[in-house]
Structure 1
Amino acid sequence: MRISGYIHSDLLPARRLYGALLCLLIVCLSLSFTVASQAAAEEKAGKRSVKTIVVDDYYPYTFVNEQGQPDGYSVDLIRAVVRSLGMEIDIRAGSWESARRALSQGEIDLLPMMAYSEERARSFEFSVPHTVAHDALFFQKGQRRPEGLQDLKDKRVLVMKYDAAYDYLRSQAIIPEANLVTAENLPEALRSLALGKGDVALMPKLVGLLHMKRLDLNNLDASPVGIEDYERPFSIAVRKGNAGLLSHLSEGLSVVRATGEYDRIYKKWFGFAEARTDTLNRVLKYILVVMTVFLGLTIAAFVWTLSLKKQVRLRTKELEQEVAERRKTEEALRRSEEKYRNLFDSTVDGVYQVDALGRFTHINRAGARIFGHANPEEMIGNEVVQYWRDPAAREPYIAELKDRKSVSAYHLQGKKKDGEPIELESSSRVIEDSSGNYLGLNGILRDVTERMRYEAEREKLVLELKEALAEVRTLSGMLPICASCKKIRDDKGYWSQIEDYITKHSGAFFSHGICPDCFDKQIRDLEKMRKRE
């Protein structure tokens, strides 16, 4: 084979070429050993050990290989992270439930891969995500393919117990709890689906497809498009309150990214390497260039190692500032949520939200009490129509609400959970997406049963007073009266005693007595009569 076209003999004789290559190799190895020795000394000085558990059947993220050892993308990544920090790690394999419980109880220090959610953030702290997975819906071939989570309401859905999909479906009340079928791991969920023990399985698409192929489940298929409703941002997780360890791990993750180690690990498990057919001529052509570059990189690595501590300290300070800012933001968010929750729970009116299917998704304590419930959680998922006295009356209400987008002081006839009728006043507003599709409604309820009872009693009293006033007759104008006997002539020309006339025309009654003047007059008359006798 002719190679002189790449290494010219008149410029660099073979002996000098090999001598130069040997010298370069010795220098590179010497510097490499120097760098390695310094790194080893620093690692020994600051080394400590942490413990973790990985899921034993979550390929390619975590699994147990043929040698019985934990393996996978997350295993390689966490080893690289702790190695960059001069630490050691003890990795065991187990179920997801046992791993999550062990971290919650402080039996282990970290989990290399946990999907972030608001619910989990109450118990754990998370690094920035190191990868993001998207779920898909798996189903039996020949069955109607589900297009999204909105098609699951009447389906039996298989999920891994305490998995991100399990937590999401429960927190969003997408399906009834009774329709949620749990499995210990993802392979078990797929086997159950293949046997018809469920209608749909929800899991990461890549993991599910690999398990389908390994288990030879030919009667299953997966939705071509991932679920857009949610995603799985996988992060390193520690127990709540262990912010110091999380800060170190975040620092290590940044180092692994900066050195290119992360890209190598990611490509190993998720990339597709292209085959290369470099010939001997190409190797010989570039060997000097490669060795020169290697020497330069080795020297750069030596210098970089000397300055790494300073860079790490600076980066650590930046990360601590970021963590402090994040904590401030989280604390402000927590206070805002607490303020909203206090306002939501302390208002005397019922505040509620209903989804497009007419089911309660939120309601405060006052709203629950209106319908006779002691706890708001008792109403979550219940259909609103069961609290209407006449279920058919809800249709025109919803139609008017969709047409007007909002209503105020709308009178509703409802009932409590025990059937007791109640009168309600509702102010509501529709919820729509960006395309104008109806998603539900939210609003405020007020129990006006007592108020309407008082108003009815008041109207009854006013009516009675009006009727009484209508019966009262008044006397007016000129009345003809006898100057001698004091009788009054009515409109028909009849003469009546004054007492009878007034009683007939006014409703007044008389109680007969005698005034002092008449009494004196009668006494004088009696005395005159006695004298005459």
Structure 2
Amino acid sequence: MPIKIMFVFALIASIGFSLFVPRAMAEKKMYKIAINRSLPPFSFIDEKGKLSGFSVELMRKIARENALHFTFLPMTEREAEKALHNGTVDAIGGITYSTERDRQFDFSVPYFTMSYSIIIPSQSKNSIQKITDLRNKHVVLENRTTIVADLLNMRNTNLTFATNQYSGLLTLIEGRADAFIGNKWTSSYFLKRLDKEKEFTILEEVIEPADYAIAVREGDGTFLNVINKTLTNLKAKGELNSLVDRWIMPEQNAEVIRLEQFIRILSGILIAVAAILLFIYIWNQRLKKAVYHQTNQLWHLNKSLIWQQQKIADSNAFKESILNNVDTGIVTFDLNYRLTSCNVSAIEILNLHPKENGDCDPSQLLNQLLEDYFKQPAEQEPLLVPHIYETNENGTKKVIHYRFLELYDSQEIKTGYLLSANDVTQKMKLEQKLITQEKLHALGQLVAGVAHEIRNPLTSIKTFIDLLPAKYDRPQFREMLLEHLPAEVNRLNTIVTDLVDFARPRQPIKQKCSVAELTSFFNFLKITMQKKEIVFEEQKDDNIVFFLDPQQIRQVLLNILLNAMDAVETKPIKKILVKIEKETDFEGKVVVSDSGKGISQDHLQKIFEPFYTNKERGVGLGLTLSYKLVKENNGEIVVQSEAGIGTTFTVLLPLYKGREV
């Protein structure tokens, strides 16, 4: 029996020890808490020299809830971070969360959302409404705020950094800055304390919102768990919201208001008495200060004016240098179309007559150009097409691209007109020359096939002529002669006509065109392909009838086939496939595939650009011309290619709609 009683007493003692000893040990535990001493209403030193504020009272509640003892150490935010990092304090009682700080400390659950606001003089409300309006303004803020980087990216913004929010706000109140960026609640507290609420406005725009929490040393999970658990309990019981309402959003207290009014009245009386006693001295000092201030202000204004004049002169010189070194001629006119300015290129392109004072007189060429512009309908867009003008009595011609635009000032009031002109005479001559070379190159490729096609009918005609003396008396021979000889002559005429048509440039003449007519020139190329051992396959739907210009589309197909022949020339498997089939009820397609070396993706995007070629002797206009001709015939051209595999060109062409096909 005594053994059982002793066991029960031991069990009770162990339970009591487990319940009360940790609490007793916790009561002995002391923590050093760093508190920001100048962040009212969150934490600050009041008139009695004691720490007060929302964060201080919250930390005291945490201490009471857990029977802990906190020693509060007032310091700046930078000092608090340094102290926590060095281990001289255990926590910071209220600090804004950031990813940089999170790498150094552990943060509790947030209990408030801190943000920055813009504080401006009330008379600036119309000119400053958001953060982007601070460009070209003088802004004061704390150097540690996260908004610093964003403001530094705004050019022409003058920044001044303050050690704390109070000194930054004083800089704004004293008129040494256009705006202050700081904590909304702290700024409101200081403005109210300084009786400046009506003179300054806190904008509603929220800047850089961030969690406000308690920071502990990194790895101090035990202390952090105690803080998080207590904060959760305070939120659940509504005590945390009560603290917020009392400190951050307090109700108006009638007694406090009456006391403040009494203090203001008493202060006014004291100031009035002091003003009467020291009137002469104060007046003299104020006069001296006013004279110095006005003199200093005039000096700064004069310096700023000189700087602005120099800046304007540099800007004008920079713009003039640009205008006089561009290839485009630029001419400006007033509302009455009188010439007001021109650059060097305009003088050369439009044959203007420069004066000694830098102005120019209009030329005959400029007058012709203006006449063309005035002939346009009012609703027509500015011209983009080239115009040809005679520049002198010898008939010398220029090809000019020009645009005529209206000029407006900063208030959207029309002030005149601008003419931009480019001399493209040499460019167009070069393009025409290269296009001719490209066509001659294509014609050279056709020569072998044409020669073979001409030789066949000539052989037949020669055979009939040789047999004519011996067999002319035979009726059967004469019938055969009359049947075959005209056909061979017509065949020769067709070959020559196609060759001449191919070499003669002209506008598209759209007409019905069968597949056989469109591919009639294939026979010319087959001879060359056979010599080069190229396998040529055709898959054609002969019932298709297109509506297009046969000559132009033959040119397109010829260019594509010649490129295909070049592509497969060095490959072990030389194969070209042409497939012609119906795509939709309105379109047919011609697909040309080869087993050549293919085109890389980088080059594939440029193949339709003028003068772009991978050939050593290529001009780079074949595919450009083909693209243009397909477009003129209301078609589309698409290319797919893979390096080392081959290339496929797909040409979509309109079908003839006059009958069912």
**Higher RCO (C-alpha 8 Å, min separation 6):** 1
| Range of TM-score over shorter length | 0.3 to 0.5
